[in-house]
Amino acid sequence: MAANLDLSKPIVIGGDHAGFDLKKTLIEYLKEKGYEVVDKGLFENVSVDYPDYAHPVADLVESGMAAFGILICGSANGVAMTANKHQGIRAGLSWNAEVASLIRQHNDANIICIPARFVSVDLAKEMVDIFITTAFEGGRHQNRVNKISCS
């Protein structure tokens, strides 16, 4: 299935200290594949508050300036909760390949949240590849997605 993400736009990525090393690895991986990547930090491995990095990623996705976002923290719950406070965001937490596919197919997720403490580098790469290449199915799922927003 072909992606319906606008890959003419950059991918935006961010994370906290728990996701620092994985974020660097994913940036290199995506650039090697020819994608433009915008890094919203963390830029040095020090303890930080994850919302300070999740909000800028969500802002770029919500504004349409980025194709989609990648957020990384220890469990990915904090960054997912933060990003999902934005009305135009559907951030899905993914811990395996099937979930990475389903959050695109069924939920039209525009940010993938990766739990750095619970997935390998290879699995994280696989999940990002699946997220990029999987299209939203629409159909019966569209009505459900339309009911997510509170506005």
Residue 122, pLDDT above cutoff 70: yes
DSSP states of 38-49: EE----S-S---
Query: 17, 55, 86, 106: which is the annotated catalytic residue?
Result: 106
CB 58 within 8 A of CB 83: yes
d(Cα 46, Cα 123) in Å, to the nearest integer? 25
38 token code pair: 């915008």
User: What is the dotted CATH code of the domain comprising 11-146?
Assistant: 3.40.1400.10
Q: What is the pLDDT of residues 3-34, one digit of tens each?
A: 688 889 999 999 999 999 999 999 999 999 99
Q: Domain locations in the chain?
A: 11-146
Is 113 a residue of the active site?
Answer: no
d(Cα 33, Cα 43) in Å, to the nearest integer? 22
Is 73 a residue of the active site?
Answer: yes
Q: What is the pLDDT of residues 64-116, one digit of tens each?
A: 999 999 999 999 999 999 999 999 999 999 999 999 999 999 999 999 999 99
Query: 55, 73, 86, 113: which is the annotated catalytic residue?
Result: 73
Greatest alpha-carbon pair distance for the chain in Å reads 44
Query: What amino acid is encoded at 148 in this protein?
Result: I
Question: Is 83 in a helix, a strand, or coil?
Answer: helix
Q: What is the pLDDT of residues 26-69, one digit of tens each?
A: 999 999 999 999 999 999 999 999 999 999 999 999 999 999 99
As a residue count, the chain comes to: 151
* DSSP summary character for residue 9: S
